[in-house]
Amino acid sequence: MKIKAAVVHEAKGPFVIEDVELEEPRANEILVRMVSTGLCHTDLTARMGFLPMPLPAVLGHEGAGIVEKVGAQVTKVKPGDHIAASFMSCGTCTMCTKGRPSWCADFKKLNFGGRRPDGSTTIKKDGKTIYGSFFGQSSFATYSLVTERNVVKVPTDVPLEILSPLGCGIQTGAGGVINTLKVYPGSAIAIFGMGSVGLSAVMAAVVCGCTKIIGIDVVESRLNLAKEFGATHTINSGKADVVEEIRKLTGGGIEFALECTGIPKVLRQAVDSLMLGGTCGLIGAAPMGVEASLDMQTLLDARTVRGVIEGDCIPDLFIPQLIELYKQGKFPFDRLIKFYPFDQINEAAKDSEKGVTMKPVLKF
Ligand SMILES: [Zn+2]
Ligand SMILES: [Zn+2]
């Protein structure tokens, strides 16, 4: 079928909206009419050519829409259902079997391989291949093919257009706090980087009953936003010694830290600010090959550094939980969103890179 998609033709090139041909859904696939899609940092990383995703490609991995058609084997959803799409996983490797789909052995191939699991591709233009299946969806398009592995049925009493970012950025920040660090009522957490992921983590820390939530950034306006979302303290790391300030605020060190910037120096600060036995979750993605230095004595004192992928969540369970919290007014993630029409995707990307928009969401 003919669809409109934002195609990236070469590394560092712009998104070009054009007509392309999408295959009909196969027996295990679901055709979704996209209603909105979030634009995430990983889309921009892939556009730069920093991921193994081949080009030309249709990116986008935070799609929300309405099921249009399903293949013969699909039972999870039916035409008319509202869905949010998340990351892909194989469902059969050791970690998928253990209920850890974001640790799937084939994560890279299935999410940035540009192809279906069997190696075929879904999109063509004038007979030439355009790579798709980005995170099993390629949602920068009016229609998208997903599978039961990465589709989440969502309730119809919530505006569908706000739900798209739950599939990656928001679940990553919130899941890092709820699923990975497992903070508890009365505990203290320091969150480094107040972008949409870090602010989602702040909201989750409020939900969990953390009584000290320290938001850290170098931009004053983001620190003010952190306070609005429930940070009890903020530190401008461009002006103050963060480790020192956290030790002062906590009487020696913090139990939980979450690194959301991917900057080696910030990871070091996050680990150094931990109390004995404390844990630092690492969400921020540095380019391949970047190394960070840590004091071995600091780690020896029972401290943990733990990588977090997609909030360590099972999207089928976690996204509905976040929606329920939203409905109760406890997780106001929609306040991070700024909507753009689909054809302003390049403006949305620019605003995201400049940091003026927390969470760009494209509407179709
Ligand atoms: Zn797997
Ligand atoms: Zn993402």
Which pLDDT tens digit goes with each residue over 66-91? 999 999 999 999 999 999 999 999 99
Cα-to-centroid distance, 60 and ligand 2 (Å)? 8
Side-chain half-sphere CA neighbours of 351 within 13 A: 17
Q: What is the pLDDT of residue 55?
A: 96
**pLDDT value for 338:** 97
Distance (angstroms) between ligand 2 centre and the Cα of 167 equals 8
| CA of 85 relative to ligand 1 center, distance in Å | 17
Distance 99 CA to ligand 1 centre (A): 9
Q: How far is the CA of 207 from the centre of ligand 2 (A)?
A: 22
- pLDDT of 300: 96
**Distance of CA 149 from the midpoint of ligand 2 (Å):** 17
Kindly report, residue by residue over 222-270, the tens digit of the pLDDT: 999 999 999 999 999 999 999 999 999 999 999 999 999 999 999 999 9
Q: What is the pLDDT of residue 355?
A: 86
Predicted confidence band of residue 286 (pLDDT cuts 50, 70, 90): confident
More confident residue, 122 or 52: 122
pLDDT bin (cut points 50, 70, 90) of residue 50 is confident
CA of 210 to the centre of ligand 1 (A): 33
Question: Is 90 exceeded by the pLDDT of residue 288?
Answer: no
> How many Å lie between the centroid of ligand 1 and the Cα of residue 315?
14
Query: CB atoms < 10 A from the CB of 214, how many?
Result: 26
Tell me the CA distances in angstroms from 320 to 83, 152, 155, 193, one per residue in order.
Answer: 11, 8, 8, 26
Calculate how far, in angstroms, residue 204's C-alpha sits from the geometric centre of ligand 1.
Answer: 27
pLDDT tens digits along 290-310: 999 999 999 999 999 999 999
Give residue 287's pLDDT: 81
Q: How far is the CA of 22 from the centre of ligand 1 (A)?
A: 26
pLDDT at 141: 98
Is residue 183 scored above 90 in pLDDT?
yes
Segment 323-349, tens digit of pLDDT: 999 999 999 999 999 999 999 999 999
The confidence score (pLDDT) of residue 208 equals 98
- Rg over alpha carbons for the chain, rounded to the nearest Å, is 20
**148, pLDDT greater than 90:** yes
70 backbone φψ class: left, alpha, beta (φ>0; ψ -120 to 50): beta
316 alpha carbon to ligand 2 midpoint, in Å?
17
What's the mean per-residue pLDDT of the chain?
97
Instruction: State the distance from the centre of ligand 2 to the C-alpha of 251, rounded, in angstroms.
Output: 36
pLDDT in tens, 150-172: 999 999 999 999 999 999 999 99
